[in-house]
Amino acid sequence: MANIIEVLTKYDGVARAKHIAAAGVSDFQLKTAMASGAVLRVAYGVYAVPGADPQLIAIRSLPAEPACVTAALLGGLWVLDAPQRTTRGNHAQPKLPGLRVPQVLRAAEATGCRHPKPALLART
């Protein structure tokens, strides 16, 4: 059986229940870790270690993953202009009322987040 803290560490301290289960952590292990305070339930189906990054908790609580500049920041990379808003990949359909993919794409474009392939094609 997998150690739940090791699994959560691989996901930067925040993971969804399906990823925890896929890594081999049993429901009993998860409940035991929660009872001891080693793991917190931060949203429905989302678990984190105490002290996990609040921005990553917010992103993973949605059907989303960090993308572009936000992923670089969370990975410890330096960026020229940090975005005012969190960027997320447009592959995840938002399920929140009033939030549509075009709004997310405009937010990503406002931060200068672009797919690298069109940039390479423009140079040739």
CB 18 within 8 A of CB 45: yes
CB 53 within 8 A of CB 73: no
Per-residue pLDDT in tens (0 to 9) along the chain, 124 residues: 689 999 999 999 999 999 999 999 999 999 999 999 999 999 999 999 999 999 889 889 988 888 777 778 888 888 887 766 655 554 444 454 554 444 444 444 455 555 454 444 444 4
| Residue-level pLDDT at 88 | 52
87's tokens: 């960027």
The domain spans of the chain are 4-55, 64-123
| Residue-level pLDDT at 26 | 95
Torsion of CA 57, 61, 65, 70, to 10 degrees: -40
Q: Quickly count: other Cβ atoms within 10 Å of residue 68's Cβ.
A: 19
